[in-house]
Amino acid sequence: MEHSHTGDGTGFKRDMNRLGQDVDTLKQDARSVGHSAMDAARSGVAEMEHEAKNALEATKQQLHGAKDAALQASDSLKHVVSRHPMASVGIAAGVGLLIGIVLFRPRS
């Protein structure tokens, strides 16, 4: 800042006036930066919220599809067991025996 010296102090008053204006400009700039930062944060939060809702909806749809597939498999298994009860019991016993051998074999 340039200093202009006058005998009556008008240069000092002018310098102080400019300094006050510069401080006011700095305050406005700081407010503007603050508002911009808040707007960016709000936008980011809104975008994250939107993405979370989309992910939740996709997960619900996948869960619903898995539930439907499990129900269909259960119904199909019930149908096969009701048509072939003796074979189903034999297969279940064989699977149980294999699981028992694998789980309870002696460890060396």
Query: Domain spans of the chain?
Result: 10-83
- Tell which wins on pLDDT, 27 or 8: 27
On the question of pLDDT at 12 being above 80, the answer is yes
Amino acid 7: pLDDT = 62
Cα separation, 62 vs 68, whole angstroms: 10
Give the E-state strand segments of 1-108 in sequence order: none
Cα separation, 41 vs 73, whole angstroms: 47
Cα separation, 86 vs 98, whole angstroms: 19
Find out whether 1 and 18 touch, Cβ atoms under 8 Å: yes
Cα separation, 20 vs 67, whole angstroms: 70
CA angle centred on 29, ends 25 and 11, rounded to 5°? 15
Cα separation, 21 vs 28, whole angstroms: 11
On the question of pLDDT at 6 being above 60, the answer is no
On the question of pLDDT at 9 being above 90, the answer is no
DSSP 3: -
- Tell which wins on pLDDT, 11 or 71: 71
The phi, psi pair for 81, rounded to 5°, reads -65, -40
Per-residue pLDDT tens digits for 28-82: 988 998 889 898 888 988 999 999 999 999 999 999 999 999 999 999 989 998 9
Q: What's the full length of the chain, in residues?
A: 108
Q: Is the pTM of this model over 0.75?
A: no
